[in-house]
């Protein structure tokens, strides 16, 4: 695996890999001619958490705000609601409002006023999942090179309009991907599908390939030799207990056979174990998961030779929810960098097939 990475990096130069979650953004600067263990890495507050903190500060200062910039993760929505409840006014450009909801009418129903120009007396708050300036400043301050390529992952619920719920859109997309090509490498996009509005914006900002955070997690788990080799002998279950979401996948011979998603705060240990038991049997319908507040499930064609997917590998910052259950994984010794390493492996695999890695990023 390390030789594979180095071959790619000698061609690409330094690569910044960003796995953007709801609580943290986990970053890895992959550099040629350095061992993986010596690559600089960072576990930083997520962009949504940074925005939420800024909004709370402005609310305490009794300032009105104007959200500008681009679509990004909407984990700061509670902070927006808190601003409005405290009597402060919140404005947003149409582009920035997509971080709260893709439907402008729903954004306005929250009490947010759409405004393309900054209203007098407001403090602008710039929204973005990725800032080239911020990252180049941080890396230069640490004496590190600016990357030649940026890879990024984030959770994208998707948007189709017409009253389709984003959870349904997301799980339908996973079902389509499982049917079309269950190889998770194919889920790393040089150009994301149109309904993946957050990843579209992220790709425009970085210029590089992007993936859903679920894809990055699966690929990151497969970077671990134990997981990869075991999955070629029998079906295994991968579980990532993140700060905001729980994601699980059924994996056999390098292919994804099923997907499960829920909210971390909505599952007790016993409830999650019960869900996983039914999920492994492909008996857990998406409607049941959604009825309990989760995203749902999606399955590929039944694969009897995979067995019961009993071997279970667990990662994620909230993995203590499953303490003592399954086997923890930490590719190259770092559990928090599984997603970033997965992005690197996915992109390197694409490029080894002769496809270009990225495009020119937007100046914005």
CATH 3.30.420.40 range(s) for the chain read 154-352
CATH 3.40.50 range(s) for the chain read 47-127
Alpha helix (H) ranges present in 89-162? 94-97, 104-109, 132-141
* Residue segments in the chain with a per-residue pLDDT below the cut of 50: 364
Q: What is the rounded distance in angstroms from the CA atom of residue 298 to the CA atom of residue 158?
A: 15
Q: Which residues, 6 or more positions from 250, have their beta carbon under 8 angstroms from its beta carbon?
A: 235, 236, 237, 256, 257, 258, 259, 279, 280, 282, 306, 309
- Token pair belonging to 261: 């998603």
Q: Put residue 188 in one of left, alpha, beta given phi > 0 → left and psi -120 to 50 → alpha.
A: beta
The predicted pLDDT at position 364 comes to 47
Which fold is adopted by the domain 154-352? Answer: Nucleotidyltransferase; domain 5 (3.30.420)
The predicted pLDDT at position 167 comes to 86
The predicted pLDDT at position 162 comes to 61
Q: Of all helices (H) and strands (E), which one includes residue 230? A: helix 225-231
Q: Identify the CATH number of the domain defined by range 47-127.
A: 3.40.50
Closest among 154, 147, 131 to 25, alpha carbons compared = 154
Q: What is the rounded distance in angstroms from the CA atom of residue 104 to the CA atom of residue 94?
A: 7
Closest among 321, 311, 323, 315 to 237, alpha carbons compared = 311
The secondary structure of residue 116, as a DSSP letter, is S
Q: What is the rounded distance in angstroms from the CA atom of residue 54 to the CA atom of residue 45?
A: 12
């Amino acid at each position: 695996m390390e030789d594979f990475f180095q071959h790619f990096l000698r061609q690409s130069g330094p690569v910044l890999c960003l796995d953007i979650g709801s609580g943290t953004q986990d970053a890895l600067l992959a550099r040629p001619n350095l061992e993986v263990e010596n690559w600089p890495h960072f576990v930083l507050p997520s962009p949504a958490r940074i925005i939420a903190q800024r909004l709370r500060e402005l609310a305490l200062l009794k300032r009105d705000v104007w959200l500008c910039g681009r679509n990004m993760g909407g984990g700061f929505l509670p902070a927006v609601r808190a601003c409005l409840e405290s009597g402060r006014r919140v404005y947003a450009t149409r582009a920035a409002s997509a971080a709260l909801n893709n439907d402008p009418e729903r954004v306005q129903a929250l009490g947010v006023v759409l405004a393309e120009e900054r209203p007098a007396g407001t403090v602008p708050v710039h929204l973005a999942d990725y800032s080239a300036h911020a990252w180049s400043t941080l890396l230069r301050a640490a004496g590190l090179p600016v990357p030649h390529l940026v890879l990024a992952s984030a959770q994208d619920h998707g948007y189709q309009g017409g009253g389709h719920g984003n959870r349904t859109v997301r799980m339908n997309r996973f079902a389509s991907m499982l049917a079309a090509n269950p190889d998770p490498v194919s889920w790393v996009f040089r150009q994301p599908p149109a309904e993946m509005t957050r990843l579209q914006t992220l790709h425009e900002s970085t210029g590089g390939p992007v993936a859903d955070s679920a894809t990055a997690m699966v690929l990151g788990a497969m970077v671990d030799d134990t997981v990869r080799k075991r999955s070629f002998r029998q079906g295994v279950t991968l579980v990532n207990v993140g700060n905001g979401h729980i994601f699980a996948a059924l994996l056999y011979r390098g292919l994804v056979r099923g997907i499960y998603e829920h909210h971390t705060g909505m599952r007790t240990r016993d409830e999650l174990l019960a869900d996983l038991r039914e999920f492994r049997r492909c008996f857990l319908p998406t409607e049941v998961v959604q009825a309990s507040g989760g995203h749902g499930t999606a399955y590929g064609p039944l694969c009897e030779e995979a067995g019961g997917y009993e071997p279970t590998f667990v990662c994620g910052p909230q993995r203590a929810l499953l303490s003592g259950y399954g086997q923890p994984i930490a590719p190259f010794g770092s559990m928090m960098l599984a997603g970033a390493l997965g992005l690197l492996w996915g992109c390197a695999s694409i490029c080894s097939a002769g496809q270009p890695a990225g495009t020119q990023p937007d100046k914005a």
